[in-house]
C-alpha cells in the first residue's frame, strides 16, 4: 500500500493527484500523517515545512475513537473542516486549529462528537461561521479571536453568545469588518433585521382521550423569517402539518394513540441567528386493559403475574371465588415495574395453603 510520506515525497504533480486520490480511497487506512505526531489519545500537527492540506486521519476508526485532543498549529494549507473530517473522532474533547489557513468549518462538522468541550480557532481566516456548527454541543470554550470576521447577520449569534456569557466568548475581544473595511468591536455591531427566533406552542399542556383529534398551534417570530419544524420523535399517531401563514403553523393529530402518552412534541424555529423551541407533553387517557394474566408461579412468594395498561393508573381489585378479596399481610398486590402506562406486577401469596385454592379474578378500572 502507498503510505502518506511517499505521497509527500513525490514531486510530480500528476503523482500528487494520484496519491491524493488514493488517500481519498484509503482514507481510513492511512497511518499518522507524516507531518503530525500521534499518541493513543492525541494528534498534534505543528510542522510547518510539509504541512497538512487536509484534516488528519488515522489508520483505523477504532484508533480515532480514542483520540481526545487534536492540536493543529501553523498549517497555512489547511483551509477547511468538512462534513466528515471530524466525525470518526467520537471521543474528541479538545480541538485546536490555530494560526492556520482555516476559512471554512462545515455546519455538520461536530454532529458526532458530543463530548467536544473546547474549540480553539484562534488566528485563522474565518470571515463567517454558523452557530449550526456547534449545535447540540455543550462548549465550555470557543476561542475565535484573530479572525477576519465580516460584520453581518451571519455572526450575530457570536455577539449574542458573548452577551449571554456562553462558551467563554465574553472574555474575548472580537472584531468584525464592514463592507468598507472599517473595524468594529463585535459587541458594538448593529445589523438591522437580524433577530433571534422564538417559538411558542399552544395549548401548552394537552390531556385528551385516546381516539380523539387535536390541533396544536405554533407561533414563531424572528428575522429573517425562521424555518419551522415539528419534532415528533417516534409518534405513533398520524398527523397532518399545515403552514397556515408566515409565523404560524399547525399540526393536526388524528385518532390519538394511547401509545403516545408521555411523548413530547417540539416546535423548532431557526434562522441564521439561532434557534428556539417550545414543547408540549401529550397525556393520553385510555381505559385499562389486562394484557397478561397467568398461573401462579413460585418466586420468593407465590405470585399470580399480571400486566395492565391504562392511564390514569388503573385501580386493581381482586376477586376470590367471586367475592372481593381482602388484601392482608399474606395476600397483597404489588406492582414491580411501570413503563409506558403498563403496570407489571403480582398478586403475592405468602405461604399459601389448600385454603387458598380457587379461582382468582382481576378487575382493573380507571375514570
Ligand X SMILES: *[C@@H]1O[C@H](CO)[C@@H](O)[C@H](O)[C@H]1NC(C)=O
Residue ranges binding ligand X (CB under 6 A) = 40, 46, 62-63, 66, 68-69, 73-74, 93-94, 99, 118, 198, 211, 236, 255, 257, 259, 276-277, 320, 323-326
- C-alpha–C-alpha distance, residues 318 and 325, integer Å: 5
Cα–Cα distances in angstroms (integers) from residue 357 to residues 329, 330, 353, in the given order: 18, 14, 7
- How near is the Cβ of 360 to ligand X at its closest, in Å? 11
Report the residue number, 82 or 101, with the smaller CB distance to ligand X. 101
- How near is the Cβ of 289 to ligand X at its closest, in Å? 10
Report the residue number, 126 or 226, with the smaller CB distance to ligand X. 226
Would you call 27 helix, strand, or coil by DSSP?
Answer: helix
- C-alpha–C-alpha distance, residues 148 and 129, integer Å: 11
- Grid cell, residue 22, equals 488514493
8 Å CB contact between 135 and 276:
no
Report the residue number, 325 or 362, with the smaller CB distance to ligand X. 325
- C-alpha–C-alpha distance, residues 114 and 138, integer Å: 8
- How near is the Cβ of 4 to ligand X at its closest, in Å? 19
- How near is the Cβ of 41 to ligand X at its closest, in Å? 7
27 Cα distance to chain centroid: 27
Report the residue number, 40 or 173, with the smaller CB distance to ligand X. 40
Would you call 201 helix, strand, or coil by DSSP?
Answer: strand
- C-alpha–C-alpha distance, residues 277 and 230, integer Å: 9
- C-alpha–C-alpha distance, residues 63 and 91, integer Å: 10
- How near is the Cβ of 231 to ligand X at its closest, in Å? 12
- How near is the Cβ of 196 to ligand X at its closest, in Å? 7
Report the residue number, 184 or 302, with the smaller CB distance to ligand X. 302
Report the residue number, 19 or 157, with the smaller CB distance to ligand X. 157
Do the strands 264-271 and 274-293 form a parallel or antiparallel pair, or are they unpaired?
Answer: antiparallel
Kindly report the number of other CB atoms within 10 A of residue 78's CB atom. Answer: 21
Using alpha carbons only, give the angle 176, 180, 182 rounded to the nearest 5 degrees.
Answer: 45
- How near is the Cβ of 46 to ligand X at its closest, in Å? 4
- C-alpha–C-alpha distance, residues 87 and 98, integer Å: 20
- C-alpha–C-alpha distance, residues 86 and 77, integer Å: 18
Report the residue number, 15 or 236, with the smaller CB distance to ligand X. 236
- How near is the Cβ of 181 to ligand X at its closest, in Å? 26
- C-alpha–C-alpha distance, residues 81 and 124, integer Å: 12
- Grid cell, residue 16, equals 500528487
Kindly report the number of other CB atoms within 10 A of residue 179's CB atom. Answer: 8
Report the residue number, 150 or 215, with the smaller CB distance to ligand X. 215
- How near is the Cβ of 49 to ligand X at its closest, in Å? 11
Report the residue number, 73 or 273, with the smaller CB distance to ligand X. 73
Quote helix, strand, coil % in the chain, to nearest 5.
Answer: 15, 40, 45
Using alpha carbons only, give the angle 67, 71, 77 rounded to the nearest 5 degrees.
Answer: 120
Report the residue number, 208 or 325, with the smaller CB distance to ligand X. 325
- How near is the Cβ of 6 to ligand X at its closest, in Å? 24
Amino acid at each position: 500500500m502507498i503510505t502518506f510520506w511517499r505521497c509527500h515525497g513525490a514531486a510530480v504533480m500528476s503523482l500528487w493527484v494520484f496519491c491524493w486520490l488514493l488517500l481519498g480511497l484509503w482514507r481510513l487506512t492511512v497511518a499518522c500523517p507524516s507531518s503530525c505526531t500521534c499518541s493513543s489519545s492525541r494528534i498534534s500537527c505543528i510542522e510547518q515545512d510539509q504541512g497538512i492540506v487536509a484534516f488528519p486521519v488515522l489508520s483505523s476508526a477504532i484508533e480515532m475513537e480514542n483520540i481526545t485532543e487534536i492540536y493543529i498549529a501553523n498549517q497555512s494549507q489547511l483551509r477547511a473542516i468538512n462534513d466528515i473530517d471530524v466525525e470518526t473522532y467520537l471521543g474528541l474533547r479538545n480541538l485546536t486549529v490555530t494560526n492556520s489557513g482555516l476559512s471554512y468549518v462545515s455546519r455538520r462538522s461536530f454532529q458526532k462528537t458530543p463530548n467536544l468541550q473546547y474549540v480553539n480557532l484562534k488566528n485563522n481566516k474565518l470571515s463567517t461561521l454558523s452557530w449550526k456548527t456547534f449545535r447540540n454541543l455543550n462548549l465550555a470554550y470557543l476561542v475565535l479571536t484573530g479572525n477576519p470576521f465580516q460584520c453581518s447577520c451571519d455572526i450575530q449569534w457570536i455577539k449574542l453568545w458573548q452577551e449571554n456569557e456562553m462558551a467563554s466568548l465574553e472574555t474575548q475581544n472580537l472584531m468584525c469588518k464592514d463592507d468598507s473595511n472599517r473595524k468594529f468591536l463585535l459587541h458594538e455591531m448593529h445589523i438591522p433585521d437580524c433577530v433571534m427566533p422564538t417559538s411558542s406552542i399552544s395549548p401548552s399542556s394537552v390531556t385528551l382521550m385516546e381516539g380523539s383529534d387535536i390541533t396544536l398551534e405554533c407561533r414563531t417570530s424572528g428575522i429573517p423569517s425562521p424555518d419551522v419544524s415539528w419534532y415528533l420523535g417516534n409518534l405513533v399517531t398520524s398527523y397532518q402539518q399545515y403552514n397556515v401563514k408566515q409565523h404560524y403553523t399547525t399540526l393536526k393529530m388524528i385518532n390519538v394513540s394511547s401509545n403516545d402518552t408521555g411523548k413530547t412534541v417540539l416546535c423548532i424555529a431557526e434562522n441564521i441567528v439561532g434557534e428556539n423551541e417550545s414543547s408540549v407533553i401529550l397525556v393520553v387517557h385510555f381505559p385499562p386493559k389486562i394484557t397478561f394474566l397467568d398461573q401462579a408461579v413460585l418466586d420468593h412468594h407465590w405470585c399470580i403475574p399480571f400486566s395492565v395498561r391504562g392511564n390514569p393508573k388503573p385501580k386493581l381489585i381482586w376477586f376470590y371465588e367471586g367475592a372481593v378479596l381482602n388484601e392482608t399481610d399474606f395476600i397483597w398486590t404489588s406492582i414491580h415495574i411501570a413503563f409506558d402506562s403498563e403496570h407489571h406486577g403480582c398478586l403475592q401469596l405468602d405461604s399459601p395453603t389448600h385454603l387458598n385454592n380457587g379461582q382468582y379474578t382481576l378487575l382493573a378500572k380507571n375514570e
